[in-house]
Amino acid sequence: MCLSNFPPFNLLLHHLTFFLRGDRRRHLRGAGDMASIAVPDPTPPPALDAENIRKAVQGWGTDEKKLIEILGRRTAAQRAAIAREYARLYNESLLDRLHSELSGDFRSTMMLWTVDPAERDAKLVNKALRRKDDNFALRKTDEHYIWVIVEVACASSPDHLMAVRKAYCSKFSSSLEEDVASCSYKDPIRQFLVGLVSSYRYTDDYVDEGLAKSEATELCNAIRKKQPHHEDVLRIISLRNKSQLKATFKHYKQDFGKAIDEDIESYGSSLFSRVLRAAVLCLGFPEKHFAEVIRYSIQGLGTDEGTLTRAIVSRAEIDMNNIKEVYKIMYNTTLTREVTGDTSGFYKDILLTLIGSEE
Amino acid sequence: MCLSNFPPFNLLLHHLTFFLRGDRRRHLRGAGDMASIAVPDPTPPPALDAENIRKAVQGWGTDEKKLIEILGRRTAAQRAAIAREYARLYNESLLDRLHSELSGDFRSTMMLWTVDPAERDAKLVNKALRRKDDNFALRKTDEHYIWVIVEVACASSPDHLMAVRKAYCSKFSSSLEEDVASCSYKDPIRQFLVGLVSSYRYTDDYVDEGLAKSEATELCNAIRKKQPHHEDVLRIISLRNKSQLKATFKHYKQDFGKAIDEDIESYGSSLFSRVLRAAVLCLGFPEKHFAEVIRYSIQGLGTDEGTLTRAIVSRAEIDMNNIKEVYKIMYNTTLTREVTGDTSGFYKDILLTLIGSEE
């Protein structure tokens, strides 16, 4: 038997390799170049991370900086491994411990970031649906509860949405589409949302250009005739895969002179039009949607921390670098500057860690 | 190093154990007590099965009986393992070999039985959708193409349907719901089918009896007012999970004096009513639906082999024992007697093997 097969020695070797090679940070490649978090290379073994987290939460006071340094710089898979190791080593749930040690917006950010992403989105959507069911009058800000549903359905990968639906079923004893169908939004919004959350858009780079051209025309006809809820629109936006839709949106702009989201905005001001526009953006230009969402959360009187946190946590591993670029162009300022100006303390620190460096 | 870790010796050990313990057949437990196939205990290792299949298809003539004896008595997971071993050992696809060795209904049955069940259902549904798109007039027999879609959507487990949707996407470069939405069935049938195939009904034994009672009333109101396509009906049948629906159907019978499927039949004769009835049966009483489907395929002038094969292949590992019982009660004859009377040769042999013994 070789010594390296012996678990404790194996762990020690990992520790040694880690310290000898140093903590050289690099941008995360695994989740695509557009992810903003900086994962150290080499990454410490999960048991070592769990051990350091334990030190940070034990005793008098909490070392929040350490928690941010570790959890804020690990991928979803790495965070899951850390949580497993933490539970195994200390016989308590990492999430429970974070909940009892931390507070306020910092706590909710750390928890949303540490929990499994599919479970996180299932919870966010459920909260959005319950919020509406609490019979709040549908104020302007309540629209953002619909956006949560649209984002999870349209700005996720098909397999992530599938995982969210499974997580939703096991957490809430009802299916996501069932709860959306019985929520109190009126048709056609409700019907549209059911279609969006039920869809499994295949991932394929093949595009049928002829279809894209003809569906761009169908969309334009409906939108400019002020019938955004026409069944062709619902069918195309609910069912087509993203590559196909991107081609359709490109044809829309080429053939009709205006981007589809701008057209939706100028030809209709109903709640349905705004939901449709959010879906179109999440499917075709998610970075624009999230730049708008973040801007909304920061602008005006007070900050909408829930929205800000959701946008940053859910996109840090997906396309935050894109969002930062678009933000600069759209609002002539950097996301870092905005977040720095509007938040404080450890909450600010974790957000800036997730946003990553601005070039 | 222990000898048993050495692959060839390991295989030999398996072979020996298998022959020493003898080929005691037992009814399959893994897929539930209602499965009809008889898997030998112990099951030969996949490599040995692959070897024996190779012998059966090589040289002059094919040993069809051997193929039935092996493949007809293995679970889906075991058949998949055999196909993998066959490809590894002989560098050719088992399905391709079966295709070139066999012919007629026997071939299509063996291939449908050997292919991965999710892929099989994806292909069956695609064929059903294409058939309609070929612009055949919708004759009585064409209804059975709609049934394929309803069966896959409603008589499968949620995870199987999910697997079918994934297989569909990777085989046909479009999503199942997208193809159903653009097929030439008219609304409300089309809309209903899209809802059925898109749903992920969670699996849960918890039943809300109050909801079941009130939704039974909603269903009854719509059905007896001859509005089977009422949006409440579509929502309830498309979205509720099976335990909940079974409770709803029980309340329907208790509170309104008649089973829901009988009511649908007596209050409407439209194609939509028949599709709705098929969905209700597949969700609540699949054995009744499949007994009817098999009866249809056998009755009248000539046998509809495609339908007969589909029903038996797709239910052998799920609820064939139930179907046999229900068949006896409904038609006063046994399934074995019917299949024996209507089919012949190896096609008959494989069907009877899959149907299993009648008690």
Q: Does A91 touch chain B (CB under 8 A)?
A: no
**For chain B, which ranges sit under pLDDT 50?**
1-31, 133-140
Query: In this complex, which of B158, B206, B239 lies closest to A181 when CB atoms are compared?
Result: B239
pLDDT under 50: residue ranges of chain A: 1-31, 133-140
pLDDT of residue B300: 73
Nearest residue of A to residue B206, measured between CA atoms: A173
Condensed to tens digits (0 to 9), the pLDDT of residues A307-325 reads: 999 999 999 999 999 999 9
Tokens 């109190």 found at:
A184
Instruction: Give the per-residue pLDDT at B141.
Output: 53
Contact A298, A342 (CB under 8 A): yes
Instruction: List CB contacts (< 8 A) between B165 and chain A.
Output: 200
Q: Residues A166-210: pLDDT tens digits? A: 999 999 989 999 999 988 788 899 999 999 999 998 877 789 999
- A176·B201 Cβ contact <8 A: no
User: Chain A contacts of B158, Cβ < 8 Å?
Assistant: 169
Interface of A with B in 133-162 (CB under 8 A): 158, 162
Query: Distance between CA A94 and CA A299 in Å, rounded?
Result: 34
A288-355 and A117-287 share a CATH fold: yes
Residue of A nearest to B170 (CA): A202
Q: Is B342 annotated as a binding residue?
A: yes
Is the sign of the CA dihedral A16, A22, A23, A24 positive or negative?
Answer: negative
Residue with tokens 């056609």: A188
pLDDT, tens digit, for every residue of B150-184? Answer: 999 999 999 999 999 999 999 998 999 999 998 87
Exposure letters B231-268 (e unless 16+ CB within 10 A, then b): eebbbbbbbbbbbbbbbbbbbbeeebebbbbebbbebb
pTM of the model: 0.81
> What's the CA gap between A8 and A20, in Å, rounded?
18
> Per DSSP, what are the bridge partners of residue B38?
B27
Look at domain B288-355 and name its CATH class: mainly alpha
Neighbours of A342 (CB within 10 A): 16
Angle made by CA atoms B213, B291, B304, in degrees to the nearest 5: 135
Q: Does B165 touch chain A if contact means CB atoms closer than 8 Å?
A: yes
DSSP assignment, residue A130?
A: H
Output the DSSP codes for A77-100: HHHHHHHHHHHHHHSS-HHHHHHH
Domain residue extents for chain A: 3-102, 117-287, 288-355
| Contact flag B174-A202 (C-beta cutoff 8 Å) | yes
CATH topology of domain A3-102: Annexin V; domain 1 (1.10.220)
Q: Give CA–CA dist A355/A340, Å, rounded.
A: 11
Q: Write down the pLDDT at residue A24.
A: 39
For residue B166, the chain A residues in CB contact (below 8 A) are 200
Q: Is A27 left (phi over 0), alpha (psi -120 to 50) or beta?
A: beta
CB contact burial A129-166 (16+ within 10 A = b; e otherwise): beebeeeeeeeeeeebbbbbbbbbbbbbebeebbbbbb
Top-level class of domain B117-287: mainly alpha
Say if the Cβ atoms of B175 and A239 lie within 8 Å. Answer: yes
- Which two structure tokens, joined as six digits, stand for A39? 């994962």
Please, which residues have CB within 8 angstroms of residue A325's CB and are 6 or more apart in sequence? A287
Question: DSSP label at A141?
Answer: G
Q: Which chain A positions have a beta carbon within 8 Å of B170's beta carbon?
A: 202
What is the CA B21 to chain-centroid distance, rounded?
Answer: 33
Q: Is A59 labelled a binding residue? A: yes
pLDDT for the residue A132: 54
**Could you tell me which of B202, B267, B197, B285 has the C-alpha nearest to residue B229?**
B267
Distance from CA of B6 to the nearest CA of A (A): 17
B59 assigned binding-site residue: yes
Q: Which residues are bridge partners to A41 per DSSP?
A: A24
CATH 1.20.1070.10 fits B13-102, yes or no: no
- Put simply, whether A16 touches B (Cβ < 8 Å) is no
